[in-house]
Amino acid sequence: MENKPPYPLQSVDNALRLLQLLRDHGVLRVSEAAEELGTARSTAHRLLAMLVYRGFAIQDDRRGYVPGPALSAPSLLGGPRRQLLRRALLPHMDALCDRVNETVNFMIRVGVQTRFLATVEAHQVLHVGDRQGTILPAHLSSGGQVLLAELSESQLAELYLADGSAESRATTPDAREDVRMPATEFQRFLKALRATRERGYALNIEATEAGICAIGAGVTDGSGSLVGALSIAVPASRFAPDRIAPLVMELRRTAERARPDIDLHLM
Residue 15 belongs to domain with CATH number: 1.10.10.10
In this prediction, residue 166 carries a pLDDT of 39
- Number of domains present in the structure of the chain: 2
4 part of a folded domain? no
Question: Domain range spanning residue 185?
Answer: 79-266
In this prediction, residue 223 carries a pLDDT of 93
Say if residue 24 is in the same domain as residue 91.
no
- Spatial separation of the C-alpha atoms in residues 246 and 225, rounded to whole Å: 25
In this prediction, residue 57 carries a pLDDT of 87
Say if residue 52 is in the same domain as residue 91.
no
User: In tens digits, what is the pLDDT along the chain, a chain of 267 residues?
Assistant: 445 566 567 888 888 888 888 877 788 899 999 988 989 999 999 999 999 888 888 888 788 888 887 776 665 555 678 888 999 999 999 999 999 999 999 999 988 989 999 999 999 999 999 888 888 999 999 999 999 999 999 999 999 998 744 333 444 444 335 789 999 999 999 999 999 999 999 999 999 999 999 999 999 999 999 999 999 999 999 999 999 999 999 999 999 999 999 999 887
Say if residue 128 is in the same domain as residue 256.
yes
In this prediction, residue 162 carries a pLDDT of 86
Say if residue 97 is in the same domain as residue 201.
yes
DSSP single-letter state for residue 210: T
Final residue of a structural domain among 21, 54, 71: 71
Say if residue 129 is in the same domain as residue 61.
no
Say if residue 200 is in the same domain as residue 92.
yes
> Any residues with CB less than 8 A from the CB of 60 and at least 6 apart, and which?
27, 66
Give the ranges where the chain is alpha helix by DSSP (H): 10-25, 30-37, 41-53, 69-72, 79-100, 142-148, 153-160, 183-199, 244-266
In this prediction, residue 128 carries a pLDDT of 95
148 part of a folded domain? yes
- Spatial separation of the C-alpha atoms in residues 210 and 224, rounded to whole Å: 34
